[in-house]
Amino acid sequence: MNVFDRTDAGLGRFSVRPLDPEADAELVHGWVTHPKAAFWPTLGVGIADVAAEYRMIESSPWHDAFVGLHDGRAAFLIERYHPAHDEVAGAYEVQDGDVGMHFLVAPTDEPVHGFTHAVIVTVMEFLFADPAVHRVVVEPDVGNHAVHALNAAVGFHLMKVVALPTKEAMLSTCTRAQYEASRHAHPQPRSHAR
């Protein structure tokens, strides 16, 4: 069952549903092990490993995962986590209302102009649909230039470069106000949660 829906003026309906570790393991495995997912830390793992990882996430009170849909078809992955209970906790002062996020767009041989931007807007709208969320925190690899550009486009600001156990990361944050300011430059129809 979808937990969030929005309509993009140019690209149609985007939805979010909880990830099912068993039913979605093969699908997600194909995404996270694809060469285009070079910055996702799962290249070379098996389907059982993916299922086990998402079972662990599902059982955590501080971390959850979702499959994003475009016009009803699975198209992206979202992980949401509480920064105070993540490896990033020691890198900055976590504030009430912070939420951490990772996202991954499914690989495709037929890219659609503006699709990845529409995905990150969907992710941000989904996160900010929770009134308790005041700021989104991300920590992409310093080499992931495409994601840095996307993050900047929706209002993220670099806090600092940090050394995490798995990578050197650009710790960046986006408040609700910064996100809203970025959207005024590119207005779209509002989203709704259900």
The closest alpha carbon to 150, from 114, 98, 185, belongs to: 114
Residue pLDDT tens, the chain, 194 long: 999 999 999 999 999 999 999 999 999 999 999 988 888 876 568 999 999 999 999 999 999 999 999 999 999 999 999 999 998 998 999 999 999 999 999 999 888 999 999 999 999 999 999 999 999 999 999 999 999 999 999 999 999 999 998 899 999 999 999 999 998 876 554 444 43
Q: What is the number of domains present in the chain?
A: 1
The closest alpha carbon to 77, from 19, 12, 14, belongs to: 19
**Which CATH number fits the domain that encloses residue 17?**
3.40.630.30
Rounded distance, CA 133 to CA 127, Å? 7
* Helix, strand, coil percentages, rounded to 5, for the chain: 35, 30, 35
Q: What would the two tokens of residue 100 be? A: 């951490």
Q: What's the CA angle centered on 1, arms 74 and 70, to 5 degrees?
A: 25
Domain interval for residue 189: 4-193
